[in-house]
Amino acid sequence: DISKSVQTTSSAIGMVNSRAENDPVPVVALNVILRIKPEVREEFLKVILNNQQGTLNKELEPLALEYTFGEDASEPNTFHFHEKYLGEEGIAAHNAAPHFLVWEEFAKSNPFSSPPEVYKFTIYKASE
């Protein structure tokens, strides 16, 4: 439901904006590896490109910073993802977005040839 997604995103933005200046919002990243069954490849690409497009739309996901993916150079139907969000709030807003819910429905159809691998971490960078 789009109104629920908008409410979740608005709440997430409010939480990010309410942090003190000396309490910066961390950038949270995900690295994901998905191995897709060959027979669902075309549907997977359609669904995941829709998810990427929605995630990178600043009106839908203002807390999403990056969403890139590509296919493994030596392992067909293996896809690597790198995503960045502004805080846990960004991930929560992404997980509630309509385009992500389409992905979740697809993921329930057992499209994977092995379990997804998801690695979550906080980005550190040198002081300026």
Q: What is the pLDDT of residues 54-98, one digit of tens each?
A: 999 999 999 999 999 999 999 999 999 999 999 999 999 999 999
The percent of residues above 70 in pLDDT, for the chain, comes to 80
Q: Tell me what the mean pLDDT of segment 33-50 comes to.
A: 98
CA separation for the pair 114, 29 (Å, rounded): 22
CA separation for the pair 79, 118 (Å, rounded): 12
Q: What is the C-alpha radius of gyration for the chain, rounded to an integer number of angstroms?
A: 16
Q: Does pLDDT of 2 surpass 50? A: no
| Main-chain dihedrals φ then ψ at residue 22, nearest 5 degrees | -85, 5
User: Whole-prediction pTM value?
Assistant: 0.81
Q: Does pLDDT of 11 surpass 70? A: no
